[in-house]
Structure 1
């Protein structure tokens, strides 16, 4: 097995990885979907559902936390699954997660100009054609392509540049959310909760409706796994990387739950129904009512636009690093393993994702919804394989140095496999509420076929080099594996909280 020193610059600090993970999870859904969540499960019910979804991701996140700290190498899933399942399993896992990452960047390229139409209805100019019932305009495509080019350029300029953008936009998202929550507490009314705290006439139906919302919530938490992809660029003690991932998931759960409660506290059931039938932007309408002016609705919409960019930016980071790791193992053409000589970013991988993203708007937003659902399936499949890798490596390599060790690993690993496996089944079983339609299965099949072609061609061309894993030569000393002294109290608090949660669940 070949070894080398990392060629990436370690430029990402603790705050950077927190905002990259959190920003990836907070997209546009909290602006446009809050009304449907409330209508399906109720205000309190939907909040509980997001907590349940957070628990699902919590277990998966714990497996990622241990594996990332143990193997802080670019590619994340690629390395984890390789060590546990070999090159074939690694190819499937990494190819699946790349589908997820690329699909999100393509979807966000279409979502961004769509939001502009909410702010400026006269924005759409130059009708071109229609795809799947969606009208495509020249102005709409132009904005999408320009923004896609700019985000690609920012990522080429370095991970730190992308992290700075992520920090600014995440602060705007957080500010918009806090404004809504504070305004709802001051100007909301508990009477608005009447008739919509839960949905259902009996305890059983209420619970069923909560579960219906809970089943889809993990898909709004996809994105914390971007951190392992950029592990070589993180300048943080290894033990803390895993904890920051868990913290990002917890913050996302709190954010979504608080937004749902705020909307339900401001708008009564008839107002939510009217908003859904009108603009569809229930959260923005709640903001407008809370402040008594329609101008504040645009603040929430701007926050949602920032959420689109943060998700887009994070998945651009994750997708390019995953492509880099596969290229370095000769699973795809090695040209995608080329780093920019000055900025140390995988330039060809970024250009590939950037070009695909710039082409996506020409297919229309309707087709992008299909691509995004197909990509979510790929992410969930990769989650399941990583969770299995976690259990396999605990048995296969028990003495592997693990700066962050998950307590009750058998319970955590089993729960992670079961929950991620259930997420995969939701897409496959008809009537589950998340079943892929035939167009989405066609896209999954097409991506799988492309993977088979790469697999066969690269295996034939590169022979023994195919599927080789290059391990990093670590120049860290033992002290770098320990928490920093200034953060010792925070580490103790986080460790104690995780231990208590796991003890209650396991016991």
Structure 2
């Protein structure tokens, strides 16, 4: 360990401040999973698979995510460092595997962050009916107008600003948005189930296996968020054992939420009405309760969901880019912390710039970003599951505040669950895989990553294995020399 301490002088290792309270962590965990997708997509889920079919798809996704979540729950408090998946994968296999995992997860976060701007503008449009003036261009049949674009840009800039000014500002704002999300969502679901008609929920199953798979394709993106917990763990001020419980509870709570939303939209109105709705959940609320005001309340809740998931993706994306840069796997400039606010502001500005570009794609790009980001997420899940399995054997003596049941067998189940998710997105999979828009995004990210990987290896070829070990894990969590091998 003395050799590692000596590296502290040679390589400055910056650390994030512990500022997140228990309440703020719960708001982050729940808000990270439950975003805006349920407002726009719940009606589509019911239309594709039927009421019970959609619920079955989400129950399957919840079980699979819980198996994967067990790997996260054990590894996160064992290695409570920003970077999460990057840290686990590097620890288990080494540099190349860690780099690949980090880049896959950064794609997932950046893609979701990019579509939150269009989602925000769509929600505001429902509330105030933005004028369709100043046509800019049309993408896939959707015309982008200046007022809509301005709102999307302002929302993006506001979110970037919150993160730029540090975790304290972000956490307070996120908690307020999460409260609005919960209130509005419960008004919708409980009101629709109470005042709606069970006859509207027929057919219970629709589309057969194809319908079930179609909903399953979208489900992983709806659970994206529990993986943000390891990105924020370095900034949490709670006992580490509670972190593991938080991961599993967040997944289960998210699954319950989606089931309530599916029941709400199914009971609230006939599917013909829901299918034609501009924003299904809001229009169903207004329909079943005969109140446009309550429909608008649900949109406010949806905006809360946009903001909480938006915050989570900026947090997750900026932290994993920060961690890669801190380890000199990306240009070190992205590891710079603001001298006053302690935020990884360069990484945040990078994601903000990409988010501004995302606003130019219009409303129809929402589905592309959701599916493409889901693919990046499930690839990351597989890498974490493999890391969990390997570390069970490689480092059995590692201190684990939370221990997943089943030992290495749980690792096998987690790997199988991840593979099942991945197959859904491949061309030969049962759902037909991603569309060409999504593959373009994936391929573009792979090309950018390949270039960065090669350039970075040339620029930082001097970094020793011991130095990178210190930069990733710090002194407290660095391995004994006998295990510190690439």
Q: What is the rounded CA distance, in whole Å, between the counterparts of 1:370 and 1:262 in structure 2?
A: 26
Return 184-193 or 38-47, whichever deviates more: 184-193
Q: Give the root-mean-square deviation of aligned CA atoms.
A: 2.1
Find the counterpart in structure 2 of residue 487 from structure 1.
none
Q: What is the rounded CA distance, in whole Å, between the counterparts of 2:44 and 2:127 in structure 1?
A: 22
Residues 116-163 of structure 1: CA deviation (Å, up to 9, x unaligned): 222233433311222333212221221111211111111111112211
**How much does 1:2 deviate?**
4.4
Residues 316-349 of structure 1: CA deviation (Å, up to 9, x unaligned): 0010000111111111110111001121111111
One of 265, 279, 282 as aligned partner of 1:281: 279
One of 206, 209, 226 as aligned partner of 1:199: 206
Matches within 5 A, 1:24-43: 24-43=32-51
Find the counterpart in structure 2 of residue 335 from structure 1.
333
Matches within 5 A, 1:182-261: 182-193=190-201, 195-199=202-206, 205=208, 209-261=211-263
Structure 2 contact 45–54 (Cα < 8 Å) conserved: yes
Count of aligned positions = 465
Matches within 5 A, 1:467-482: 468-469=468-469, 470=471, 471-474=473-476
Find the counterpart in structure 2 of residue 391 from structure 1.
389
Find the counterpart in structure 2 of residue 121 from structure 1.
129
Q: What is the rounded CA distance, in whole Å, between the counterparts of 2:369 and 2:265 in structure 1?
A: 30
Structure 2 contact 123–299 (Cα < 8 Å) conserved: yes
Residues 1:47 and 2:45 aligned together: no
One of 342, 345, 352 as aligned partner of 1:344: 342
Q: 1:466 to 1:295 in 2, by over 3 A?
A: farther
Structure 2 contact 218–371 (Cα < 8 Å) conserved: no
Q: What is the rounded CA distance, in whole Å, between the counterparts of 1:447 and 1:361 in structure 2?
A: 18
Residues 233-282 of structure 1: CA deviation (Å, up to 9, x unaligned): 01111110111111111111111101111222232xxx2213312x2433
Matches within 5 A, 1:409-420: 409-420=407-418
Residues 262-305 of structure 1: CA deviation (Å, up to 9, x unaligned): 222232xxx2213312x243322321233222221111122112
**How much does 1:80 deviate?**
0.3
Q: What is the rounded CA distance, in whole Å, between the counterparts of 1:111 and 1:304 in structure 2?
A: 10
- Secondary structure of the 2:408 match is helix
Structure 1 contact 31–284 (Cα < 8 Å) conserved: yes
One of 302, 318, 321 as aligned partner of 1:320: 318
**How much does 1:14 deviate?**
2.4
Find the counterpart in structure 2 of residue 500 from structure 1.
none
- Secondary structure of the 1:243 match is helix
Residues 1:71 and 2:79 aligned together: yes
One of 150, 156, 167 as aligned partner of 1:159: 167
Residues 211-232 of structure 1: CA deviation (Å, up to 9, x unaligned): 5433432221011111111221
One of 438, 459, 462 as aligned partner of 1:464: 462
- Secondary structure of the 1:230 match is helix
Structure 1 contact 426–435 (Cα < 8 Å) conserved: yes
Q: What is the rounded CA distance, in whole Å, between the counterparts of 1:208 and 1:370 in structure 2?
A: 19
TM-score (norm 1): 0.87
**How much does 1:180 deviate?**
2.0
Q: What is the rounded CA distance, in whole Å, between the counterparts of 2:59 and 2:18 in structure 1?
A: 34
Matches within 5 A, 1:9-24: 9-24=17-32
Return 324-333 or 369-378, whichever deviates more: 369-378
Structure 1 contact 14–241 (Cα < 8 Å) conserved: no
Residues 1:272 and 2:280 aligned together: no
- What runs of 5+ residues in structure 2 fail to find an aligned partner? 478-486
TM-score (norm 2): 0.90
**How much does 1:48 deviate?**
2.6
**How much does 1:369 deviate?**
3.9
Matches within 5 A, 1:96-175: 96-175=104-183
- Secondary structure of the 2:291 match is coil
- What runs of 5+ residues in structure 1 fail to find an aligned partner? 476-507
Structure 1 contact 109–148 (Cα < 8 Å) conserved: yes
